[in-house]
Structure 1
């Protein structure tokens, strides 16, 4: 069971790291965090690819800091409620994917699969890289796997 600290609702850094509160879900916070990223993807899908990637780049850099700080403040490496990394991983998954609700749902499923099964080197990074970089990097890699799957699927169809 996910136990989100009260600071999630008082500290803006923790609130952001907890995916605008979505990571405070009592169960499956990574899934809820990824779901919460979908409306932002819809808003971002109207951007040029360059602007989309710039937003994702800024979100990634911000994530290194907010996830690392929140983790240090809580004294727990990668608390399950820290889901900003899921936001970024999902947004990477959806890069250059034309928006449709079907694509958004397919991307959600594919990203969650790679985030949960953690194929090599995702699992290695998850276990060996510390701090905000480690929290973010495994989801970035899962997002790259999911992005590759999404584009392969679109290319084949």
Structure 2
């Protein structure tokens, strides 16, 4: 059976679960999916911190449903094309950061590092938690780790803000 027949961007949960189609990139779908967070980051960059946090919670909870339902459609727990978790993780990374090309780049690199390497508790979540919650949990935690590192770099003056 042709795997592409399983993908249907007309189904709302797949449209979002597949990161508006960015997860269908033939190489590095997670990296392309991470870029799908940029419109949300730009849209909310001037919101108060509390509202950015609420937005992060909303897109993460929504992702549990979208990713879980998409995984069910595809018959694979965490198919590489499912990238809404990357959208949420990178958005979390950028909460409260003054936006510049430097902060976006460093945040992106930090998030991709934690998402790919999956140190300690991130790896544990990835292996032990399943369903939509499991798909989202490790990337949300990678986003939190990246947020902490990015804010520390800003605080000590290694990023210019």
Please confirm whether the aligned pair reaches a TM-score higher than 0.5, indicating the same fold: yes
Per the alignment, residue 20 of structure 1 pairs with: 20
Task: Give CA deviations for 1:93-139 in whole Å, capped at 9, x if unaligned.
Answer: 11111111211111011100110000001011101100001000000
Structure 1 length as normaliser, TM-score? Answer: 0.94
1:121 and 2:121 are equivalent in the alignment: yes
Structure 2 length as normaliser, TM-score? Answer: 0.92
Task: Give CA deviations for 1:56-107 in whole Å, capped at 9, x if unaligned.
Answer: 1111110011111111111100000100000110011111111112111110
**Displacement of 1:55:** 1.1
Unaligned runs of 5+ in 2: none
Structure 2 matches for 1:64-75, cutoff 5 A? Answer: 64-75=64-75
How big is the alpha-carbon RMSD for the aligned residues of Structure 1 and Structure 2? Answer: 1.2
Unaligned runs of 5+ in 1: none
Per the alignment, residue 96 of structure 1 pairs with: 96
Per the alignment, residue 61 of structure 2 pairs with: 61
1:79 and 2:107 are equivalent in the alignment: no
Q: Alpha carbons of 1:148 and 1:129: their partners in 2 closer, same or farther (altered >3 Å)?
A: same
What SS does the corresponding residue of 1:46 show, helix, strand or coil? coil
